[in-house]
Amino acid sequence: MALLILGLAPRMRTLVVDLKSSGRWGLAALFLAMATACSPSEPQTPVQRGRIVYLNHCIVCHNINPNLAGAEGPAIAGSSRILLRDRVLHLTYPPGYKPKRVTHLMRAFPQLAGEIDDLAAYLQAAAKKSSSQSRNSASPPPG
Ligand code: HEC
């Protein structure tokens, strides 16, 4: 007789199988339990992950709404991936790029190298969301 106890709570499983008497069903149950336990929990989209990075690192200076200017930093919704990579990782700008401000208050975040794609996804989504509401063309101020 097979003794089979399966606990299939998301991150925890208890499995006791008496394979001696009923090997086939025991193994089938074992595979089932493994497949269930390994399913990913709550996948997050790049936009969701990028929003969390933005809230954690950027809103000290930039506005919580990236379409607006913040306490220190300009509006950065719609920033390209290249601009974000240069600016956030190296504190530089892409060749020929005209910065919106020149205060040099921002510092680099080299630890966010793996997060640039997510940040770009979030900032581009944020720009799209507001483009129906405001039509100003975010041109950089002189100087
Ligand atoms: C300490 C304040 C501060 C923090 C924190 C900060 N920034 Fe900035 N950021 C600025 C300032 C100020 C500028 C304007 C350039 C200047 O004056 O140096 C700027 C400029 C930028 C620009 C270029 C805007 C343009 O088009 O000219 C981007 C992109 C940017 N920041 C992204 C980010 C991101 C992403 C984060 C979070 C990972 C971040 N910043 C965190 C202050 C900050």
Which of 49, 61, 64, 65 is the pocket-test mutation for ligand 1 (most atoms within 8 Å of CB)? 61
Is there a single domain that holds both residue 71 and residue 17? no
Show the low-confidence residues of the chain (pLDDT under 50).
1-19, 21, 136-139, 141-142
Domain that holds residue 27: 4-37
Question: Which tokens is 127 given?
Answer: 């720009």
What residue's CA is closest to ligand 1, atom 41?
58
pLDDT of residue 11: 43
Q: How far, in Å, is the centroid of ligand 1 from the Cα of 133?
A: 24
pLDDT of residue 46: 97
Residues 86 and 99: their CA atoms lie apart, in Å, by 12
pLDDT of residue 131: 72
Q: Is the CB of 102 under 6 A from ligand 1?
A: yes
Is there a single domain that holds both residue 55 and residue 112? yes
Tell me the one-letter amino acid at 22.
S
pLDDT of residue 14: 39
